[in-house]
Amino acid sequence: MRNLFLALFTLATTLVQAQILDPVSWSTSVEKVSENEFELISTATIDFGWHLYSQTVPEDGPLPTVFTYEEAEGIEFVNGTEEPKGHTEFDNTWGTDIKYFSDKAVFRQRVKVSGDVAMITGEVEYQVCDDERCLPPNYVTLDFPIKAGATANTPEKEEAETTPVITPAISLDTDTAETKEEVYTETTGTKAPKENKGLWSIFIIAFFSGFAALLTPCVFPMIPLTVSFFTKQSKSKAAGIRNAIFYGLSIIGIYVLLGTLVTAIFGADSLNRLSTNVTFNIIFFLLLVVFAVSFLGAFEITLPNSWASKVDSQSTKGGIVGILFMALALAIVSFSCTGPIVGTLLVEAASKGGIAPIVGMLGFSLALALPFALFAAFPGWLNSLPKSGGWLNTVKVVLGFLELALAFKFLSNADLVLQLHWLEREVFLAIWIAIFGALALYLFGKITLPHDSPATHISVGRLGLGLLVLTFVVYLIPGLWGAPLKLISGFPPPINYSESPYGVGNSKGGVSAAHSDLPEGAHLGPHDIISFHDYEEGLAYAKKVNKPVLIDFTGHACVNCRKMEDNVWSDPKVLNVLNNDVVLVSLYVDDKRPLPDGPENISEKSGKKFRNIGQKWSEFQELRYKANAQPFYVLIDHNEENLTEPSAYNPNVQEYFNWLQKGIGNF
């Protein structure tokens, strides 16, 4: 009886695992806003336990939901596709907050129509996951009837041949969501804790950047001049303190206004998309390189002299107007030193989105304004200030090196999005080692730059800073051989985006990391396991070495696939089996690389060419094994027959090991 129960349980488990899942259904409608303006509404109804990802997800995270619309004459798409707030939770696998939707999600696209337009066609690409599995990317055609009598087809999962316009995501804020239809019930009135944490980090970084700007040759010498101005203008000590406070507030107001303008121009909700936009990341990289070269002494970035002259003439009028123009004169005259710092802050804050540019400028201006206001209110404190000198240029050069290092973070972002592998982890770290190594030599006096003062010795403070930078360089070097470098986590590319996942010439699990040792067509997979990404190549190699084949249906954006690799495959006994007893064939169902023309790359279901490699392996899994969820593991022999029942997500190490042993035993 017990054996019968176990057999039935195994059969039921297999049937549950091997099924075609379709947990999301899409419907469309059109809402008329004005005579020639409409909202295209796409509604996703999501089965219980499943979730659909947002249009904006972090780099190296899960696949986002992407809406595209067919271009046609007389159609103008306004802004991006709006989405509800959904849920945002920290995901340990990706190491960051991930936004997703459950139950129901409604997306809206505003469009202006002129002329004879009866129907607008679009497409949505999306991925859904539950707690144990993820499905490969899916494509659904969306039809929106604009004119009465136009018939919309039921959204189908098919190959849509369109000229798409990819529209960026716009998240609905709480107030907007409440004024829409009741489908926006997922909106919440609270922000994710991570957002507040991000704003605080921007504020703190900006605050210390303001102090750094204060110690530059364009700003520091202006403190005595400012104090002299207020001493002459103020008739009493109380008036001097009052004027100094207003002066400080004026400086803050000018820079906060700049942050507000950046937010208004780009849009508070659209700024965070810049972090994954290739064009903007390259532009940011070039900007920061220009700022860095300026700080290193190649040239100065200045505003027109006429601006400073006009503003300075207004500052002599006295009173509140004169103080306001005095603050504006400070911002303009010191621009050659503060401009690169402000530009860097705005670039970094813009990639965070929301009101981050405003918060950044508030922190920067507060640090910049405080010393000016305090010394203007209490001029006697000036005696405690160090004298101007060559050390001010040293501060400026150090900031130049830091900006140059930060620039490569944005170039790395672009490389990661395009998956070009030009700036892999080892190359990135080598660049940083070179930059900070040069900074250490500069601080030790071995390198001099154009505006440096001649010196016969270096100060104790400069020596201490040089030793600190040299220590950081030494800390970076082991990263080339696989050290995690937790102090700079988030700046270099992830460890798996490298020439070798565990460093130059290193390995884990007893497999050599040198690519020259790999069989033809093989790659180094997780934990340096030899893996094939093509089914036929892997099967041919398995026949050659007389081992069974382990087919691993996986995905780059599959959360539970990473959990299995990190927590189950890393176990020594499982890793030993994967290294020595089977041939691993990892088929990525979300691989976006295109396929060459050929009969082998034509879909059996649609008769059309596959969009990409991932779609080919997704259909292969669906047709042969009647399943479309990942992770999905199949052990087969050389005749492509199953050696045991396929296995899905199973975090129990011993059970997974037993499953492998059973299949290998049957082989």
Bridge partners of residue 633, in order along the sequence: 552, 647
User: Cα–Cα distance between 630 and 618 in angstroms, integer?
Assistant: 10
- Tens digit of pLDDT for each residue in 238-279? 776 777 777 778 878 877 787 677 666 655 444 444 544 677
Predicted pLDDT at 5: 44
Predicted pLDDT at 16: 42
Q: What b-and-e string marks burial along 599-628, b requiring 16 or more CB atoms within 10 Å of the CB?
A: eeeeeeeeeebbbbbbbbbbbbbbeebebb
The segment(s) of the chain belonging to CATH 2.60.40 are: 24-184
Helix (H) or strand (E) holding 12: helix 2-17
Predicted pLDDT at 394: 80
Radius of gyration, CA atoms only, the chain:
30
Predicted pLDDT at 159: 43
- Tens digit of pLDDT for each residue in 535-587? 999 999 999 999 999 999 988 767 778 788 878 898 889 999 999 999 999 99
Helix (H) or strand (E) holding 138: strand 138-145
Predicted pLDDT at 161: 40
Secondary structure (3-state) at 45: strand
Predicted pLDDT at 191: 36
Tokens representing 418 are 């395009």
User: Cα–Cα distance between 202 and 211 in angstroms, integer?
Assistant: 14
24-184 CATH fold: Immunoglobulin-like (2.60.40)
In sequence order, what are the residues at sequence separation of 6 or more whose Cβ sits closer than 8 angstroms to the Cβ of residue 24?
Answer: 44, 45, 46, 47, 50, 52, 126, 128, 138
Predicted pLDDT at 4: 45
Q: Residue 23: what residue type?
A: P
In CATH terms, is domain 515-666 a member of 3.20.20.70? Answer: no
The segment(s) of the chain belonging to CATH 3.40.30.10 are: 515-666
Other C-beta atoms within 10 Å of 232: how many? 8
- Average pLDDT of each block of 10 consecutive residues along the chain (667 residues)? 46 48 85 86 87 80 84 82 82 70 89 84 85 77 75 49 46 39 33 50 79 65 62 63 76 77 57 56 81 76 56 55 67 60 64 68 80 71 57 76 84 74 87 94 87 78 91 91 74 73 49 58 84 90 92 81 83 91 89 80 79 85 84 91 89 91 91
Nearest one of 387, 357, 362 to 210, comparing CA atoms: 362
Predicted pLDDT at 578: 92
Nearest one of 68, 8, 7, 16 to 42, comparing CA atoms: 68
Nearest one of 582, 552, 550, 576 to 564, comparing CA atoms: 552
